[in-house]
Amino acid sequence: MQIDLIAEARRQAEVCNACRYCEGYCSVFPALHRERAFSDGDITQLANLCHNCRGCYYACQYTVPHEFDLNLPKALAEVRQDSWKTHAWPAGSGALFDRSGVVIAAGLTLAVAQLFALAQGMRPADGAGFYAYMSHWVMVAIFAPAFLLPLLALAVSMRSYWQTVGGGDVRLSDLKAAVVSAGRMRNLNGGHGDGCNFEDEDRFSQARRVFHQATLYGFLLCFASTSSGTVLHYAFGMEAPYELFSLPKLFGIPGGMLLCIGTAGLAYLKTKADPNLGAPKVWGGEMAFVALLFAVSATGLLLYAATGTAAVGVLLPLHLGTVLTFFVLTPYSKMAHGFYRMAALTKEAAQSRGLEL
């Protein structure tokens, strides 16, 4: 963790703690106002509670040209980004995606897609649907470690983060409160229900909240699609391809559409927002992640639309390449923020419960 980033965020948090004008804006300020002094772990926790809605910046009387020069969204964004890199495992791997996100995502996708295209030479003689192009067991052999190893990396990272912020013991009710907060995107409503100021200075908008929800629920539906297909395959012996009115399709098609809408919307809002109120050095890496997630959903929908045509032979490797790249980069791209955010919300719920006892 860079000491200068922590020190600057601490300076600004101390000013905010004295002012308290933004007390009802989001979860950051109740947590901030509970403290009299801020350890490095406290600052890291506040940074991961922050959703960068920027409402506090536009309401603040101490921004430039005031001598206090407050820019709390930027200060917390920089600490937040640095915390993901500091706790990333293996050590030193976290900063790669931020420096060259577009090149890494595009290069890895194309390389893996080429490998999948070559793997079609081992296609089974009697496969149907996608399995007419690539064996089921080839896909399992490739994707099982590509899914499980990033989860292991995230688990190690989250354990390190939890120790840093002094997470302590939590209850199931705390986790439930965190899930509800994340599902409703409560911290993007500006504290008053009018939305946040992310993309247009002091104009309130619900757009970012809506696009975040579309992305979240689209991703969950796609995950449910894959999970239901796995259960149908192994528990009931029902192999792909599946009909339109089947769980994998009923989850996957709307999920892919929501993902496309959500990621495209978030990318657009990011071009409208002031980069100096976030972490400017990682802007490209964040956009690369959003583009990669859009590519996963878009190629999946195109692949479904092309079922039964020769285009499947081209689209299948491309889609699998984007999915595998997404999995491999999950611990080091902005996808990791979801895990850190849930940990921060869970700790905040536990602390809030403790105050009520």
Smallest CA-to-CA distance from 151 within 283, 287, 341, 338 is with 338
Residue 356 in this model has a pLDDT that exceeds 60: no
Among 15-19, 80-84, 117-121, 211-215, the least confident range: 117-121
Among 69-83, 101-115, 178-192, 339-353, the least confident range: 101-115
Residue whose pair of structure tokens reads 């595009």 in the numeric block: 106
**Residue 195 contacts by C-beta under 8 Å, 6 or more apart in sequence?**
188, 189, 204, 205, 206, 207, 208, 209
**Residue 29 contacts by C-beta under 8 Å, 6 or more apart in sequence?**
16, 20, 22, 23, 56
Q: What pLDDT is attached to residue 357?
A: 42
Can you give the length of the chain in residues?
Answer: 357
**Residue 301 contacts by C-beta under 8 Å, 6 or more apart in sequence?**
253, 256, 257, 260
Q: What pLDDT is attached to residue 182?
A: 93
Segment 332-343 mean pLDDT = 92
Instruction: Give CA–CA dist 145/320, Å, rounded.
Output: 14
128 Rama class: left (phi>0) / alpha (psi -120 to 50) / beta: beta
Smallest CA-to-CA distance from 327 within 164, 202, 55, 143 is with 143
Q: What is the pTM of this model?
A: 0.89
Q: Say what the alpha-carbon torsion angle 221, 224, 226, 227 is, to the nearest 10 degrees.
A: 170
Q: What pLDDT is attached to residue 298?
A: 97
Q: What pLDDT is attached to residue 124?
A: 61
- What is the chain's alpha carbon radius of gyration, rounded to the nearest angstrom? 22
User: Tens digits of per-residue pLDDT, 189-233?
Assistant: 877 778 888 988 878 899 999 999 999 999 999 999 999 998 998
- Which tokens belong to 230? 């796995």
Kindly give the residue spans of alpha helices, DSSP state H, lying in 165-206: 172-184
Q: Say what the alpha-carbon torsion angle 67, 68, 74, 80 is, to the nearest 10 degrees.
A: 150
